[in-house]
Amino acid sequence: MLSLDSLETPCLVVDRHRLLRNAQTMLARARDLGVALRPHVKTPKSVEIARLSLGADNGPITVSTLLEAEHFAAHGFDDILYAVGIALGKLPRLAALQGRTGATIRFVLDSVAVAEAVAAFAQQGHSGLQALIEIDSGEHRSGLLPDDPALPEIAAVLADAPGVELVGVMTHAGHSYGTDDPAKIRAIADAERDAAVSAAETLRSHGHACPVVSVGSTPTVLHAGHLHGVTKARAGVYVFWDLAQASRGVCGLHDIAATVLSTVIGHNRQAGRLILDAGALALSKDVGANNFMPDAGYGFVCDAATAEHLAPLAVTEVHQEHGAVPVPDASWFDRLPIGSLVRVMPNHTCMTCAAHRGYHVLENGEVVAEWPRVNGW
Amino acid sequence: MLSLDSLETPCLVVDRHRLLRNAQTMLARARDLGVALRPHVKTPKSVEIARLSLGADNGPITVSTLLEAEHFAAHGFDDILYAVGIALGKLPRLAALQGRTGATIRFVLDSVAVAEAVAAFAQQGHSGLQALIEIDSGEHRSGLLPDDPALPEIAAVLADAPGVELVGVMTHAGHSYGTDDPAKIRAIADAERDAAVSAAETLRSHGHACPVVSVGSTPTVLHAGHLHGVTKARAGVYVFWDLAQASRGVCGLHDIAATVLSTVIGHNRQAGRLILDAGALALSKDVGANNFMPDAGYGFVCDAATAEHLAPLAVTEVHQEHGAVPVPDASWFDRLPIGSLVRVMPNHTCMTCAAHRGYHVLENGEVVAEWPRVNGW
């Protein structure tokens, strides 16, 4: 067994107990809501973590890139939702993946133009294409408002296209990350559900089956009053949590399962700062947590062994490979001598983890496994 | 030959003509200043681009990670400066690399404690260790002020250690990125040079040879009045340039050689926005350019073929795989139909490129090569 001391820094460390607890909490929540969980693997991008999230060797997942779809399909996952509006140039690769593995890679679209292009693509001999219409439930990123007249038009285009099946609707209330007020998150969650359900009803009223009604973001799945009418819930960041979620009260610091192990490489006594070997690349430059937690910086600095926050330490400035940590007094130079290890709780774990090749899995103080990630496109 | 149309998006595209011009301009500048150029490969992390930067198959380079050092040493680069304060735990890996390849991997330190640890490490039978003392020339990140009494102390520790050689001093005036006033950049450049030269003189006055006096950042190398007393200049971002540099007047938009090819995947007509398949992961969340170029967002949106800025389009909001581009009027939906390609000029190219596995090299409108990057640690 390896100890933390034996790892090269900077690197990602994931606490297996916290990870399991986070996974089980969300599985129980989905069960209580009466919906299937389709975890978004864009956060962990790891087969092992997806399996923990599902409590099974495979199951429905959500991906953010076709490379993820290919990676998970190669590991036996055969029910995959690719949840970024399909770029037409990606259809051949998606169809090839389906043909090669037998997995179903559902995709999303939100315009008549794309629906027509998908129909034209299917006409070239590609069958088994399964589309969902993306609904805008308030985030105003992509998707159609539930009452947009294009909704039945798209459905009609797809219904007329041999080889293409409209399987349902999906929406993502990403604006749930924009508040720390539980009542507001609940209102957003309820609006997310209502938008998806009403879009599905509109489609059904036009004669389309619409079996899938998919919603989700970690905060909305946790805060929704109920999910009647919804069939699938998507969430991702809950497997690791991060300061952005903690800043909104959606998790506690003790739930955060992924951290960046780093070495103290310098004592800048004049400036009153520790220098870490984790900088902008190892941590990312996401500072979203600071909206509601102004002292979060680029991440809280924690004890390497316990992952307890060494309050008030945070990484306040990053260069490519340097992180600067102001200390309130010189005693910290003795507490954290040059060469010490610390762990940095990420501001936004999806961004932080993306810089790393994989996870060192920590259990009872020992590194018990290494799990790879699938980065890129 | 491939065309841009055949590439999967998002991906990195590098314009070979611009790259070559940027490399030759900096080589000529170093020649005019009478110093050797030690390009910082942390920006491109590419053997091919390092070779263009040197105008030779190999030569002195600067790296930011030991993985870069290993990669470049494996490709024949035998004079490498690892310019991040050495973490003691990395010494065995560095020594092993030297032993395995015969390359010299110089490292930097800025404390007596680290110097003593290096001496102790050498005593375990590791020879050929070459250290530089890092000087703080005003950035206040790491390094000693040139008149710090620890400077000769460190030199004395290293001089007494068999197997260790103190080869000189290095400094990085990274605060040159903090202004768009050429006079201020020049003043910072001159202070950077003076700090390094005076630190070297102090060491010499204490009987140490100090053959290397290394300075550099792209803006300071370009703006320095002279570099008398300096032996090596380091710079990196100039190979690609980016909006952060353009915002400070250090380059023009037509110098920017690396861009992210992206597909228009949606028209959000209600919100007046295009949606791209390049988001936070493909572009990074660095927004440093916005200090002096408030319309830079996460990057300027450009014509895919010409890389001309489609003014005023910029990516103003990013999600993990979505980028949002407000359009001033609906005519843009016709100019850039769904499925169109665009290229995004990065805000900070070091961060943007780090998300990608390599470069698609564009010359006369055709993709003529693929060059890999060495990401990670």
How far away is chain B from the Cα of A356, in angstroms, using its nearest Cα? 6
- Position A245 in a domain: no
In chain A, positions 229-258, which contact chain B (CB-CB < 8 Å)? none
Residue B179 class from Cβ within 10 Å (0-12 exposed, 13-18 middle, 19+ buried)?
middle
The one-letter amino acid code at A112 reads V
User: Maximum CA pair distance of chain B?
Assistant: 72
Q: Checking DSSP bridges between strand B61-63 and strand B79-82, what pairing results, if any? A: parallel
Q: Give percent of chain B with pLDDT exceeding 90.
A: 99
Q: Which pLDDT score, from 0 to 100, does residue A145 have? A: 96
Spans of chain A below 70 pLDDT: 1
Residue A156 pLDDT: 98
Closest A-chain CA to B356: A376
Q: What is the pLDDT of residue A151?
A: 98
Q: Which residues of A touch B9 (CB under 8 A)?
A: 87, 89, 377
The answer on B280 and B158 residing in a single domain is no
Distance from the Cα of B66 to chain A's closest Cα (Å) equals 10
Q: Hey, is the C-beta of A29 within 8 angstroms of any chain B C-beta?
A: no
Q: Are residues A59 and A172 in the same domain?
A: yes
Do B88 and B181 fall within a single domain?
yes
What is the pLDDT at residue A236? 97
- Angle between helices A16-33 and A47-54 in degrees, nearest 10: 40
Domain boundary among the residues B239, B259, B280 is at: B239
Cα A175 off chain centre by: 14
The DSSP 8-state label assigned to residue A88 in this structure reads G
Please write the tens of the pLDDT for every residue from A269-282: 999 999 999 999 99
For the CA atoms of B243, B245, B251, B256, what is the dihedral angle to 10 degrees?
-40
Which site among A264, A281, A286, A351 would you substitute to test the B interface, given the most B Cβ atoms closer than 10 Å to its Cβ? Answer: A281
Say yes or no: B150 contacts chain A, CB-CB below 8 A.
no
Domain harbouring B175, CATH code? 3.20.20.10
pLDDT at A288: 95
Tally the C-alpha atoms within 13 A of residue B83's C-alpha that lie toward its C-beta. 31
The verdict on a CB contact (< 8 Å) between A320 and B142 is no
In a domain, B39, yes or no: yes
Residue of A nearest to B63 (CA): A321
Do B156 and B108 lie in a common domain? yes
Rg (CA), chain B: 22
Residues A203 and A266 in one domain: no
CA distance B9 to B25: 31
Are A215 and A257 within one domain? Answer: no
Rg (CA), chain A: 22
Instruction: Identify the residue among A145, A240, A277 best suited for mutation to test binding to B, counting B beta carbons within 10 A and taking the highest.
Output: A277
CA nearest B292: which of B257, B231, B247, B349?
B247
pLDDT of residue A158: 98
Please say whether the beta carbons of B237 and B289 come within 8 A.
Answer: no
* CA–CA dist A57, A324 (Å, integer): 41
Q: Are residues B254 and B140 both part of a single domain?
A: no
DSSP letter at A8 equals -
Contact call for B321 and A84, based on CB within 8 A: yes
- Its domain, for residue B208, covers 19-239
The first and second tokens of residue A138, run together, are 């308030």
Residue B332 confidence (pLDDT) = 98
Q: Which two tokens stand for residue A228?
A: 């009647």
Query: Is residue B234 located within the same domain as residue B256?
Result: no
A134, amino acid identity: E
B53 interface with A at CB cutoff 8 Å: no
Question: Tokens 């390849």 correspond to what residue?
Answer: B101
> Looking at the domain assignment, is residue A377 inside a domain?
no
* A201 & A147 share domain: yes
Q: Which two tokens stand for residue B183?
A: 């006079």
Grouped pLDDT means (10 residues each) for chain B, 377 residues: 92 98 98 97 98 97 98 98 96 98 98 97 96 96 96 98 98 94 96 98 97 96 96 98 97 98 96 97 97 97 98 98 98 98 98 98 96 98
CATH number at residue A259: 2.40.37.20
Nearest by CB: A111 against B8, B90, B266: B266
Instruction: Find how far residue B32's CA is from the centre of its chain.
Output: 22
Enumerate residues 205 to 224 of chain B having a beta carbon within 8 A of any beta carbon in chain A: none
> Tens digits of per-residue pLDDT, A174-232?
999 999 999 999 999 999 999 999 999 999 999 999 999 999 999 999 999 999 999 99
Reported as a single tens digit per residue, the pLDDT across B50-103 is 999 999 999 999 999 999 999 999 999 999 999 999 999 999 999 999 999 999
Pairs across A and B, CB distance < 8 A: 160
3-state SS record for B90-118: HHHHHHHHHHHHCCEEEEEECCHHHHHHH
**What is the ipTM score, two decimals?**
0.97
> B117: closest CA among B144, B146, B152, B86?
B86
